[in-house]
Amino acid sequence: MSLVRTVARNSLWSGFDLLVDTVLPPIVSIIVARAMGPAKLGVFSYVTWIATVAANLGGGGMSAAARKYMADYAGQNRPDVFRAILRVGLLFQAIVSLLLVGAGLYWVFSALPSDERGFATLAIITILPAGLMPMATSVNNAVEELRPNVIASVAAGLVHAAGMGATLVMGWDLAGLAGAQLASKTCDCVVRWILTKRRLPHYLQAMGASADSLQGAVRLPPGLAREIAKFLGQATVLVLLAIVVWNRSEMIFLKRYCDIRQIGFYSVAFSLSLIPPQIVGPFSRAAGVSVFAEQGRSAKAGRHVTYLYWRYLVLLVLPVCLGLAALSGPLVRILYGVQYYEAAPVLLLAAALSVFAPMASPATSLITAAGGQGRLVRWGLLSAVATIALDYWLVRYYAAMGGALANGLGQAISTIGTIVIARQYVSFRSSLGFTLRVFLAALGMAAVVALFMRLVPNIVGVVGGPFLGVGAYVTFLRIGRVVEEHDIDRLLRAEIVFPEWARPSYWRLVHIFARLSRARTGSSTASIG
């Protein structure tokens, strides 16, 4: 299957995941947040953030190592090594997850008030399924098959939404919310492993394994264990640094220096600012998987898919981030009510700065797949130090607003440095002009939407603003002559992922977009910028 079709197919599966996993739970969580209020939400957000950080720290390093090396050996048709990496990685994850659960329970019963220990215990136990799940994800990512991951994620999203809804109806309070998270993670882990185990023999046979060889014991080749251990150490440091730079390290400073309600305001704004990465997530996950797979086949192929990844990510993420910033005030007032009014300016800032997180993904994927993550570690250390310094200074004086600004500036520092590092592998120059034109188109769109929001009632603005924004964005793309003929060609080739009955409608939409944006012919050099 061609690269365009592979990415499009995986994007479609991830898009289905988006519809369930990022639509239903947020709807219920908004209702729950309104019922709890900022103070209680702040307590819950802090404890669950600790549990999430522990799960990410325990599972992220080995997951990244497995994804890289399994993709490499899948590309080399080495099913024996593929199986060995999976066995070692799963054993490692089980041990680490159990140790983290033990450490977390010790923290709960030694540091938290007695009235918070019940829900906190449930939150900590989620570390176990959350730590075992990534290895199954890595297996499917390594062979560019996202279907099992998506099915499991959708099932978990439905369970989470049902649990949160039941908590609201039955009045189970914080324990019910933590129980819903535990049930969701457990469902995701179990379903993901069942589907992955069922598909694993097919993956291995596609690499050339015989039926008999699937039953024998497997060992890592000499020297590979040391290589994986080195990569694992670097990847774990990167996960820790990512927690500091990307994943709300501001919570610690807000808990120490501010009223607990500020954590609630920051959590609401931060959660809504994740909408842009979630919207582009289906494409981003699919393209990131292909970067690793193509890099395993050849360095040139890896650079090419990274260029395409960057180009279409820029077209998607810039208008969504700036559009959300323009909608921030009315959106918070409508969704959360007047008790969360102070979260509105926090969201405006967080949404505008959230553009940096997804834009780092193409360069990070290429660098990691090419084995250059040592440089990412060194730059990540500098970015983390800068972020913590910004957290300390800005949160103390500006509370949740300072947290949003510190988080955004930390992301900007990290992303810019990562792109500079990626220049070792791919040239950036020819795409800088393209990125600037897209940014200006998105900025013009945001200005139009912001003006519209000032002239109409909140509900009218929130409903009509996105439609106006789409029209304005396409218009500015046309003025800037951003979209080219090969972009339309790739979109048309992606129709293979749709069922027969949907393809005519898809073709019409693509041709309408081509006419509106006045796509011109031309070619781009293989670069990322």
User: DSSP string of 411-460?
Assistant: HHHHHHHHHHHHTTTS--HHHHHHHHHHHHHHHHHHHHHHHHHHHS-HHH
Higher pLDDT, residue 524 or 21: 21
What's the pLDDT band for 180 if we cut at 50, 70, 90?
very high
Residue 369 predicted with pLDDT over 80: no
User: Residue 484, SS3?
Assistant: strand
C-alpha angle with apex 179: 178 to 185, nearest 5 degrees?
A: 90
Residues 6+ positions from 517 with CB-CB distance below 8 Å: 474, 477, 478, 482, 483
Residue 328 predicted with pLDDT over 70: yes
Q: Rg (Cα) of the chain, in Å, rounded?
A: 23
Residues 6+ positions from 481 with CB-CB distance below 8 Å: 437, 518, 520
8 A C-beta contact, residue 284 and residue 313:
yes
Whole-number pLDDT of residue 286:
60
**Hey, what amino acid is at 189?**
C
Give burial (CB, 10 Å; 0-12/13-18/19+) of 467: exposed
pLDDT digit string, tens, across residues 475-516 = 898 888 777 766 666 666 555 545 566 667 766 776 676 666
Enter the pTM of the model: 0.71
Top-ranked range on mean pLDDT: pick from 130-134, 167-171, 241-245, 281-285: 130-134
Residues 6+ positions from 95 with CB-CB distance below 8 Å: none
Whole-number pLDDT of residue 275:
83
Mean pLDDT of 287-295: 61
Range in 121-135, 236-250, 318-332, 399-413 with the lowest mean pLDDT: 236-250
Residue 155 predicted with pLDDT over 60: yes
Whole-number pLDDT of residue 257:
92
8 A C-beta contact, residue 143 and residue 198:
no
Mean pLDDT of 442-460: 93
pLDDT digit string, tens, across residues 33-87 = 887 888 888 888 889 889 988 888 777 778 888 888 888 888 788 888 888 999 8
Residue 227 predicted with pLDDT over 60: yes
